Structure 1
């Protein structure tokens, strides 16, 4: 692991709920008040749409020196986006192994930020700088994700993913689980915002549930998404009768 805790370096009085977005998001308020402690090499952020999990993931990536648009660490930002309010003020308590990378210049940092909605353009940027062996825009969406996982997720660093399962089949998700496990074994760290019960089943990973309560650590079997998928696959009609006109 590289990071033990992430926290916001904010001026006194900043971050009250009445200050508007993003402080109205419960998980952001908790991040500002308490920080986020990492207890395992792989951390999953799980929550409904709008819960703030992607906001936290992006801030972690940006604070570490990964382009918030997506891509690698250790070089000038590919996009012209300015630092966000959260990412620009995020700070880290590194582990002993991560101290040199976190506290040194950005050129020492290693890792990758993959976000589903901007992945293709970011990966083409990786190809343009010879960091990928093939052109992602000549492949399917899922194949380009797997190419990045195989070729850019291969060394000690921080790897942040925002809903990577969006482009992946069942078997490809299993391959990603194996990759996450391998990254943990070599001393890297992974933070993944996801809706996938398959990914979050990785043994030894910490699952942080994000919602109106803020953030809390939970077990896989306690996740609402796991319960819903189990019940849906057991009896789809029990759910579909509420959403289909014929029901």
Structure 2
């Protein structure tokens, strides 16, 4: 493990965004502990998943627009208000990374800016499809033990590519890396040994894969699509 707990030492502006978001309020109250090398954050759109993973990446020193530890912030782009305040309890290896930029290893991959981030890392995204670009990042950048933060990486991936990503995450964890991933994918969250945290109006709570609302909805939809479609189609 690299990061063991994330927290905000001073709770301020709690009636304003992002402090009003339930998962952020839970972070303020109790912090967020990481108990496995791979952690999935799941929840509906607007629940605060992206706000949280962006702040975690920023707190570790990764660019909120995405990219590796080799890419530092543009001077005219400040961190988010939550990213500025978030702090970590870290394992010994993680403490060395937080103290020294040269020792820091990691990558922040977000769906909206992935190809731009890849171009800064030496890839040529014009020669790749969106999904191939994502997989190029996994193959070429998710190698060294470090902190890898991802925001909905499945957005550009087919079923088979998601399975390939799952294999990459498993190998990365076995090599000493740590992954924090916001996702809507029942395929990714099925990774054995992963910790799953469900985000919603309740804040933050751990859940088993087969207890997740997203798994239940996908299972029901694939069994009987009409039971859902009749509510949205004329």
| TM-score calculated relative to the size of structure 2 | 0.97
CA 1:71–1:78 in 2, change beyond 3 Å: closer, same or farther?
farther
Shift of 1:122: 1.2
The match for 1:14 is 12
- 2:170 aligned to which of 162, 181, 193: 181
Unaligned runs of 5+ in 2: none
- Indicate the RMSD between aligned Cα atoms, in angstroms: 1.2
CA 1:98–1:92 in 2, change beyond 3 Å: closer, same or farther?
same
Q: How does 1:1-247 map onto structure 2 within 5 Å?
A: 1-10=1-10, 14-16=12-14, 18=15, 20-78=16-74, 80-102=76-98, 104-127=99-122, 132=123, 135-245=124-234
SS in 1 for 2:87: strand
SS in 2 for 1:86: helix
Shift of 1:201: 0.1
Cα separation, 2, equivalents of 1:27 and 1:213: 8
Give aligned pairs, total. 234
Structure 1 residue ranges, 4+ long, deviating more than 4 angstroms after superposition: none
Unaligned runs of 5+ in 1: none
Map Cα deviations across residues 48-69 of structure 1 (whole Å, 9 max, x no partner). 0000011100000010011000
Shift of 1:125: 1.3
Judge conservation of contact 2:6–2:31 (CA < 8 Å) in 1.
yes
Cα separation, 1, equivalents of 2:222 and 2:154: 18
Cα separation, 2, equivalents of 1:110 and 1:49: 29
Cα separation, 1, equivalents of 2:58 and 2:150: 12
SS in 1 for 2:150: strand
| TM-score calculated relative to the size of structure 1 | 0.92
Map Cα deviations across residues 130-188 of structure 1 (whole Å, 9 max, x no partner). xx4xx112210000000000000000000000000000000000011111111110111
Judge conservation of contact 1:15–1:29 (CA < 8 Å) in 2.
no
Cα separation, 1, equivalents of 2:158 and 2:85: 36
Cα separation, 1, equivalents of 2:112 and 2:75: 14
SS in 1 for 2:44: coil
Shift of 1:98: 1.9
Map Cα deviations across residues 194-247 of structure 1 (whole Å, 9 max, x no partner). 0000000000000000000000010000000000000100010110011001xx
